[in-house]
Amino acid sequence: MIPVPINDDRQFNNADGFAMVFDPAWQRCLKAGELDDQSLEQRIEIVLTHLSDHPFVQSEPTQARQVARFRVRLLDLNS
C-alpha cells in the first residue's frame, strides 16, 4: 500500500479533495462551539466559510454544499 502523507497541505479542485478537508473543519468548528444551536444548513455554511479559499468551494459552490450534506449524513456528523 502506498502511504498517504498525513500533513499534506495541497488542495485539489474536486469533491474528494474537498471531502478530505471538510471533515476536520467540521470537527474544529464543533469543538469551538460555532455549530451549537444552529440548523444543519447553518452549520454547513459556517464550515464552508472556513473553507472559502478551497478551490472546489470557489469553483463549484453548489456541489460543495451537496458534498457537505452527503458527508454529514454519511458520517452522522449532525447528531
pLDDT digits (tens, 9 = 90+) for 20-70: 999 999 999 999 999 999 999 999 999 999 999 999 999 999 999 999 999
Question: Is residue 19 situated within a structural domain?
Answer: yes
Question: Is residue 5 situated within a structural domain?
Answer: no
Give the helix/strand (H/E) hosting 28. Answer: helix 15-31
pTM: 0.84
**CB half-sphere exposure, 43, CA atoms < 13 A:** 24
Structural domain tally of the chain?
1
Measured distance CA(31)–CA(8) in Å, rounded: 22
Question: Is residue 34 situated within a structural domain?
Answer: no
Measured distance CA(12)–CA(46) in Å, rounded: 21
Q: Assess whether pLDDT exceeds 70 at residue 12.
A: yes
Question: Is residue 62 situated within a structural domain?
Answer: yes
Q: Which domain holds residue 19?
A: 15-28+40-74
